[in-house]
Amino acid sequence: MVKSTSAKDEGELLEPRPRDRTPRPHRLVRDEEGHLWRIRELTFADAPPSLVFESEGVFRRVRHYPTNWEELTDVQLYALSWKT
């Protein structure tokens, strides 16, 4: 019989991975139907940052987007949300 052990069993404490708590820019945009969207750049696990579009009950993640996304117009930025 093999008994599994963890670092905790051995008396060691594992250090949590540090999180990037740097404030990141975000935008609020209304679509043509009046829904409010929060748009921000987020990093998931070890992947490059993504542009995340959040609205009530909807989440879109765009992995490839222009570095100057903050300078896009509201219409251009919302259109980008469909390019997942």
Whether 44 maps to a domain, the answer reads yes
| 62 occurs within a structural domain | yes
Domain annotation covers residue 11: no
pLDDT at res. 43: 87
In order along its 84 residues, the chain shows pLDDT tens digits of 444 444 444 555 555 555 555 557 889 999 999 999 999 999 888 888 999 999 999 999 999 999 999 999 999 999 999 986
Look-up: residue for tokens 């991975």?
A: 17
pLDDT in the model for residue 12: 55
Domain for residue 48, yes or no? yes
With beta carbons less than 8 A apart as the criterion, state whether 53 and 31 touch: no
Range of the domain at 41: 26-80
Q: Find residue 42's DSSP bridge partners.
A: 50
Report how many domains make up the chain.
1
pLDDT at 72: 94
Please give the model's pTM, rounded to 2 decimal places: 0.68
